[in-house]
Amino acid sequence: MRIILFLFLINCSIQAQSIFNVDFDVARFDMSDSTSRLEIYYSFYHEGMTTQVVKNDSIIRGAILVKIKAEGQEKDQYLVNKIYNFSSKTNSKNRATLGILKYVLLEGSYLCELKGSDMNQENSIDSVSFIFTINGFKEDKYSISDIQFASSLKRSVPDSKSIFKKFNYEVIPNTSGIYGEHLPVLFFYSELYNLNKGSVSPFLDLSYTIQNQNSEIVFSKAKKLNTKLTSIIFTEAINVSKYVTGSYSLTIQISEKNSNSLEKKIKRFTVVNPNIVDTAKTITDKAVFSSEFAEMTMDELNKAFNTVKYISQKREIDTWKLLKRKAEKRNFLYSFWKRRDKDSDPNINKTKIEYYNRVDIASKRFETMQKEGWETERGRVYCIFGEPDEIERYPNENELAPYEIWNYYDVEGGVIFVFGELFGFTDMTLIHSSKNGEIFDPSWRAKLQR
């Protein structure tokens, strides 16, 4: 999944069995003092999906599984547990199917699980889960909705039947959050609430800024809001065609003069402009040149990223595909690990070191005639989660192929991964797991029957 940095996303990682291009994005908009509207945007990219011929037409078939449950509920007590199917004709692999789902939810904390699947191909699955909070209106103070990124935003015609119509606008979601060479204008949509509450001034200050990955402000604009207004729609278009490739954040902020009170929302996006050269010499540049990525060849850089796809967000994977120059890939990998660095020592990145150590161990331990060890299913799980707390090995059960059960006691309260030697060659396939987002098959033993 491209990822999608939801404003409220927590520990979002994508671990699908067969990654193909499905994007999800989410935004919340207030409705009352106790409810909000949750909007889920999805995009199935036809490239990578299989087609089915029906009456001489090539048909793309997909499905979205949505599960939402309130915090504290039992595992199977979902407020929403529904599958949405779609099919569409396609004459081009470059097309995409866009959609939107809407739910009204009461105040509280929720867990949302989304899964996209290619219905013509059993193991083509992409999933994501995240925690979010519904706060409802602040009746006595101004507030801001989430930010929705769009690929197109325009006034809608009065009789428009578009599913993306929102008040007087048609807002086509950009689920990838990627702009630049192929989408040079960043459109965004937000809603500002209760501007006439909680302020003694006749005007509020509205500002919106863009910062790059070095926390430098590259765009800034401000305007006044009349406090006689109640709630308004705030939209804007920003040209990012001259921005250098990298990660950026958009901040919308409302504040009151001579007051410490403010409200703000932040959302990240990515810019890919291969032909724009960054001439600025920053500390980051020096750090990149002193890193192990500085001396890598193009093949070594590609392999360094291929081994981290298991922990990459979809936006990062899609951004990498667009990078052509060695310098771009080198800077990308440095920033990739810098974002994940949890160590206070700027000269050491323990997260990176630990992960690449896992890759090395997996490469040696699970190597087959066809694959490097980190490319196998056991290698993938080992790279993501490390050494299992316990491994149950069953090499010689009657009438069953050899299989292993890996136990991780501290992942999601305890999960298992079951691997079976279905096709020989010492490689084992993942046939069942209790981990969210992984293949789930309670009848997995049937697959092991000789």
Residue 286: per-residue pLDDT: 67
What would the mean pLDDT of 234-263 be, rounded to a whole number? 90
Second CATH level (architecture) for the domain 1-137 = Sandwich (2.60)
Domain ranges in the chain are 1-137, 138-280, 283-340, 357-448
Question: CATH 3.10.129.10: does it fit domain 138-280?
Answer: no
Q: Which one-letter amino acid corresponds to residue 409?
A: Y
Asked whether the beta carbons of 52 and 120 are under 8 A apart, the reply is: yes
Q: Which CATH class is domain 357-448?
A: alpha beta
Fold agreement (1-137, 357-448): no
The string of pLDDT tens digits covering residues 86-127 is: 888 766 555 788 999 999 999 999 999 898 888 888 777 888
Q: Which one-letter amino acid corresponds to residue 259?
A: S
Compute the distance between CA of residue 362 and CA of residue 146 in angstroms, rounded to an integer. 41
Q: Identify which has the larger pLDDT, 127 or 412.
A: 412
Among the listed residues 404, 365, 413, the one whose alpha carbon sits nearest the alpha carbon of residue 386: 365
Question: For residue 220, is pLDDT > 80?
Answer: yes
Instruction: Compute CA distances 97 → 46, 88, 175, 393, whole Å.
Output: 8, 8, 11, 44
Q: Given pLDDT bands bounded at 50, 70 and 90, which one contains residue 319?
A: confident
Give the CA-trace dihedral at 251, 248, 289, 312, to 10 degrees: 120
The string of pLDDT tens digits covering residues 65-88 is: 999 999 877 777 899 999 999 888
Among the residue ranges 47-61, 136-150, 327-341, 375-389, the one predicted with the least confidence is: 47-61
Those residues with Cβ within 8 angstroms of residue 95's Cβ, 6 or more apart along the chain or in another chain: 46
* Mean of per-residue pLDDT scores for the chain: 85
Burial zone of 75 (CB within 10 Å; 0-12 exposed, 13-18 middle, 19+ buried): exposed
Residue 93: per-residue pLDDT: 53
pLDDT > 70 in the chain, percent: 91
Give the CA-trace dihedral at 433, 435, 437, 439, to 10 degrees: 0
Residue 427: per-residue pLDDT: 83
Question: For residue 13, is pLDDT > 70?
Answer: no
3-state secondary structure string across 117-184: EECCCCCCEEEEEEEEEECCCCCCCCEECCCEEEEEEEECCCCCCCCCEECCEEEEECCCCEEECCCC
Q: What are phi and psi of 226, to 5 degrees?
A: -75, 125
